[in-house]
Amino acid sequence: MSGFHCVGMCGPIALAVPVIKSSLLSETMSRLLYHAGRIISYIMIGFTFGLIGSLVSLGGFQQIVSISAGVFLLLFVLPSLRIEKKLSGWGLSFFKKLKQPAKHLIVKRNYGAIFVLGVINGIIPCGMVYVAASGALASGSLVSSMMFMFFFGVGTMPVLYALASGVHLLSIPFRKRIRQFIPVWIGVLALIFILRGLNLDIPYLSPRITEPTAQEHCH
Q: Give the pLDDT score at 39.
A: 96
- Determine, yes or no, domain membership for 210: no
Q: Which residues of the chain have pLDDT under 50?
A: 212-217, 219
What is the count of structural domains for the chain?
Answer: 1
- Determine, yes or no, domain membership for 219: no
Q: Give the pLDDT score at 49.
A: 92
CB 19 within 8 A of CB 172: no
Q: Give the pLDDT score at 216.
A: 44
CB 35 within 8 A of CB 188: no
Q: Give the pLDDT score at 213.
A: 45
**Neighbour tally for 156: CB within 10 Å:** 25
Q: Give the pLDDT score at 214.
A: 44
Q: Give the pLDDT score at 37.
A: 94
Amino acid identity at 94: F
In DSSP terms, which residues pair with 202 in a beta bridge?
206
- Determine, yes or no, domain membership for 85: yes
In DSSP terms, which residues pair with 206 in a beta bridge?
202
- Determine, yes or no, domain membership for 68: yes
Q: Give the pLDDT score at 169.
A: 57
- Determine, yes or no, domain membership for 151: yes
Model confidence pLDDT, tens digit, residues 76-89: 888 767 777 777 66
Q: Give the pLDDT score at 88.
A: 66
Amino acid identity at 218: C
Domain limits at 129?
Answer: 2-14+22-197
Q: Give the pLDDT score at 66.
A: 87
Amino acid identity at 107: V
CB 126 within 8 A of CB 10: yes
- Determine, yes or no, domain membership for 34: yes
Q: Give the pLDDT score at 167.
A: 62
Alpha-helical runs (H) found in the chain:
2-9, 11-16, 24-58, 62-76, 83-97, 99-108, 111-123, 127-138, 142-164, 172-197
- Determine, yes or no, domain membership for 140: yes
